[in-house]
Amino acid sequence: MVGEAELRLLPAKPGVYLMRDAGGEVLYIGKARSLRHRVRSYFQESGPVDPRLRAMVGQIERLEFIVTDSEVEALALEANLVKEHRPKYNVKLRDDKQYPLLKITWNEEYPQLAVVRRIKDDGARYFGPYTDAGALRETIRLLRRLFPLRTCKHRIGVDRVARPCLNHDIGRCLAPCVGAVDKETYRAMIEQVCLFLEGRPEPLARDLRRQMEEAAARLDFERAAVLRDRLMDLSKVMERQKVVSPAGEDLDVLGLAVAAGEALVQVFRVRGGKLIDREHFLLAGEAEPDLAGSLAAFLTQYYAEAPRIPPEILLPAPIEEQEAVAAWLAQRRGGKVVLAVPRRGAKKDLVTMAMENAALLLEQERVRRSYDEGRVLQALAGLTEVLGLSAPPRRMEAFDISNLHGQEAVASMAVFLDGRPAPDEYRRFRIRTVEGPNDFAMLAEAVGRRFRRGLAERTEGKVGRGFADLPDLLLIDGGKGQLHAVLDELAKIQGLVPPFTLALAKEEEEIYLPGRSEPLVLPHDAPALHLLQRLRDEVHRFAVTYHRSIRAKGTRRSLLDEIPGIGPRRKQALLRHFGSVRRIMAASLEELAAVEGMTRAAAEAVYFGLRGAETGLESGDRD
C-alpha cells in the first residue's frame, strides 16, 4: 500500500502518474496539473467519486510519475502511455484496434488509393477512420466509378509496360504507365478525389457537368454518357448529405451514451455545413464510466490518431481540464480548436441528435451481444449433447496442415474459449521430422509437440495459461485417417489424459469419432455443427496464411541468398528500397548501385545473378 511518506515526495508540478499493483501491472495512468494534489486525492477518506477508481485504490502498491513542462505535454504523454500499457482501469476504446483509413499517396507523381491502418509521416493524405467495413468498401467502389485511378503496381517511368491494362480499356484508368496522361491532368483528378473525401463534392459536380456539356457540344456522346453516369452517382451521394448548418461550418459533434459499465460515443462529421459521415466507438472500463471521464478519454485517444481535426468540436457536457485538451488538439491541428458545449440553437440540436443516436446504437449493441451469447450457449449445449460430454467444453483446439507437395509444411492451432475465438492463444508449428506429403504424420507431430510441451509447462507450475492450459475438445481438420493418426500419437504421451478428439471432413461435413466406424452427420442448420465449422475454418485460414508467408520468405531467400556478395544487410536494403524481388529484377544497374550499402560490383552481381535465375526458371518451366 502507498504510504504517506511516498505521497509527500510527489512534486506540485504537471505530469503523468502510473499506479501499479503488487505484481507490477499498470492499473491506471492519469495526468495532472499538480501531481501532488491529484494523486493525494485518491488516498483521502472521501476517495475518488468514480466507482472504477474506488475499486482500484485498494490494489495500488507502487506509484511512478513523470514530470512534464506543461499540462498539455502531460496530456499527450498520457495518451501515448495508455495506448502502450492498456491499463485495466482506464476508459479506453474497446479492442483499441487500428481502424482502417483511406490513404492517397500524395507524395508520388501519380498517386494511388490504398487502405491502411496507421498514419505515417510520409507526405501522403489520410481520410477516416472507418469503423464500418461495408461503408469503406462502398466508398472505394464509388471512388473507382467516379475517378479513373490507377491500381497497378508499376513504377511509372521505370517499368517497361507494353500496353495498358483492361481498366484503361473500360474507362477506369488513365494509364499513366504508358504515358497516356500527363502529371498535371492526373494530379488535378487526385485533388478532386481529396475534395470528395473531405465532404466537398460540389466543385467536382460542377466540373463533371461542364465536361459533360463540352463533350456533348463536340458530339462525343459516348464520353458525355460516361460523365453523365458519374454525375448521377455523385448526385446520389450529395442527396444523402444532410444540411445541418447553414453557416457552412466544419465541425465534429460528439454524443455519448452510458449503460451497465459500457459507453458508446457517436461522432458526426460535419463539413461545409453538411453531415457527411458518422462513426461510433465503444468504450470499455472496469466499472460504470462517468460521462466527463469517458469524453475526455475518447478525445485524447481518438484525436491522437485522427488524420484531420476540425476547428470546432461540440460536446454534450464539459470535461475536466477542457482548456488543456483544447490546447493539445490545437497543437495537433496546427490551428485553434474550440471545445464547445452548446446550450441552445442548431448546435444544441446537433448534440441532442448525436446523443439519441448513441443511446440507440448502444442498446442495439447490447441486444446483439446478448443474442450472440445465446447462440454460442445453444451451440455449446448442443455439442455437449450430441457428443455425450459431461459438461460444455471450455477450451476447444483445432489443428490443420498446409504444405505444397510436402514442401514448407506448417501446422496451425486455433483456439476457442467458451465458444469464441481466442486469437492470442493461436500457435503455429514448422514441421521438422516429416519428409514428403504425409498429412497424417505431420498432424501427429504437431499435436504431439503441443501436448508434450503442455505437460512440461504444467510440471514447471505454469498451470492455466499457454500450452499448459490443455483443451477439453480437440478438433482435427480431416477424416478417419487423420483422426487415428492423432489418437495414436496421443496414446504415446505418458501422463496425458487425452481430450475428447474428433475430426471434421470438409466435403460432406461428416464428424468422425473415436470407436465409431460410421461418421456422425448433423443437420446442416445445427448450431453445434456451425460451431465446429467455425473452428475448423478458422484453423484452416490460419494455416494457409502462415504457409503463404513462409513460401514468400523462401522465395526471397532462394533468389537473393544465392548471389555472391549479397549478405543479410544488403538483401534487406534492396527489399526495403524496391519492395519486392520482382522490382529488384526490373531495376537497372544504376538503380541497384544507388541503394545504400551497395557497390558497383555488388550491383552487377545482383543484376546478372537475378537474370540468370529468371532464365533458369523459364527454361525449367518449359521442361
| pLDDT at residue 534 greater than cutoff 60 | yes
| pLDDT at residue 101 greater than cutoff 60 | yes
Q: For residue 558, name the pLDDT band (cuts at 50, 70, 90).
A: low
Quote the pLDDT of residue 381: 94
Beta bridge partners of 29: 18
Label residue 149 exposed, middle or buried (CB < 10 Å: 0-12, 13-18, 19+).
Answer: buried
Alpha helices for 86-182 (secondary structure H) = 133-146, 166-169
Q: At what angle do helices 322-333 and 71-85 cross, to 10 degrees?
A: 80
> How far apart are alpha carbons 102 and 148 in whole angstroms?
17
Quote the pLDDT of residue 29: 86
Please check whether residue 163 is in contact with residue 178, taking contact to mean a CB–CB distance below 8 angstroms. Answer: yes
Quote the pLDDT of residue 329: 92
Quote the pLDDT of residue 466: 76
| pLDDT at residue 439 greater than cutoff 70 | yes
Quote the pLDDT of residue 245: 58
Label residue 118 exposed, middle or buried (CB < 10 Å: 0-12, 13-18, 19+).
Answer: exposed
Q: For residue 623, name the pLDDT band (cuts at 50, 70, 90).
A: very low
Q: For residue 411, name the pLDDT band (cuts at 50, 70, 90).
A: confident
Lowest mean pLDDT among 206-210, 326-330, 577-581: 577-581
> How far apart are alpha carbons 176 and 174 in whole angstroms?
6
> How far apart are alpha carbons 54 and 48 in whole angstroms?
6
Give the side-chain half-sphere CA count within 13 A for 11: 11
- The dihedrals phi and psi of 428, each to the nearest 5 degrees, come to -130, 145
Quote the pLDDT of residue 229: 75
Quote the pLDDT of residue 513: 94
| pLDDT at residue 409 greater than cutoff 90 | no
More confident residue, 617 or 115: 115
Q: For residue 531, name the pLDDT band (cuts at 50, 70, 90).
A: very high
Mean pLDDT of 217-221: 82
Q: For residue 255, name the pLDDT band (cuts at 50, 70, 90).
A: very high
8-state DSSP, 498 = P
- Domains of the chain and any CATH numbers: 4-81 (3.40.1440.10), 101-242 (no CATH), 251-364 (3.30.420), 395-550 (3.30.420.340), 561-622 (1.10.150.20)
Alpha helices for 258-399 (secondary structure H) = 291-305, 322-333, 345-387
Beta bridge partners of 63: 19
> How far apart are alpha carbons 82 and 521 in whole angstroms?
49
> How far apart are alpha carbons 280 and 131 in whole angstroms?
7
Residues 102, 81, 303: CA angle, nearest 5 degrees:
35
Residues near 44 by beta carbon (within 8 Å), at least 6 away in sequence: none
From the list 329, 326, 268, the residue with the least C-alpha distance to 303 is 329
For 610, the enclosing helix (H) or strand (E) is: helix 600-622
Please check whether residue 358 is in contact with residue 265, taking contact to mean a CB–CB distance below 8 angstroms. Answer: yes
Give all strands (DSSP E) within 185-302, no chain letters: 242-243, 251-259, 262-271, 274-284
Please check whether residue 509 is in contact with residue 533, taking contact to mean a CB–CB distance below 8 angstroms. Answer: yes
Q: How far is CA 145 from CA 167, 176, 422, 527, 618, in A?
A: 11, 18, 39, 41, 38
| pLDDT at residue 132 greater than cutoff 90 | no
Please check whether residue 142 is in contact with residue 237, taking contact to mean a CB–CB distance below 8 angstroms. Answer: yes
What mean pLDDT is reported for the chain?
81
Instruction: Give the pLDDT confidence of 170-194 residue by residue, as tens digits.
Output: 777 888 888 888 888 888 888 888 8
Q: For residue 621, name the pLDDT band (cuts at 50, 70, 90).
A: very low
> How far apart are alpha carbons 168 and 155 in whole angstroms?
17
Q: Assign 3-class secondary structure to 35-65.
A: HHHHHHHHCCCCCCCCHHHHHHHCCCCEEEE
Cβ neighbours of 181 (radius 10 Å) = 19
Quote the pLDDT of residue 615: 40
For 307, the enclosing helix (H) or strand (E) is: none
Q: At what angle do helices 71-85 and 291-305 cross, to 10 degrees?
A: 80
- The dihedrals phi and psi of 241, each to the nearest 5 degrees, come to -85, 115
Quote the pLDDT of residue 492: 93
> How far apart are alpha carbons 329 and 310 in whole angstroms?
9
Using omega within 30 degrees of 0 as the cis cutoff, is the peptide bond preceding 499 cis?
no
Say whether 95 sits in a helix, a strand or coil. helix
- The dihedrals phi and psi of 321, each to the nearest 5 degrees, come to 50, 45
Buried b (16+ CB within 10 A) or exposed e, 388-409: eeeebbebbbbbbbbbeeeebb
Ramachandran assignment for 426, one of left (phi > 0), alpha (psi -120 to 50 degrees), beta (any other): beta
More confident residue, 284 or 612: 284
| pLDDT at residue 246 greater than cutoff 70 | no
Q: Amino acid identity of 244?
A: V
Residues near 206 by beta carbon (within 8 Å), at least 6 away in sequence: none
Quote the pLDDT of residue 287: 46
Quote the pLDDT of residue 555: 46
Q: For residue 465, name the pLDDT band (cuts at 50, 70, 90).
A: low
Mean pLDDT of 606-611: 78
Please check whether residue 312 is in contact with residue 338, taking contact to mean a CB–CB distance below 8 angstroms. Answer: yes
- Please identify which residue in the block is written with the cell numbers 465409431: 516
- The dihedrals phi and psi of 463, each to the nearest 5 degrees, come to -85, 140
Global pTM value:
0.55
Cβ neighbours of 369 (radius 10 Å) = 11
Mean pLDDT of 127-140: 73
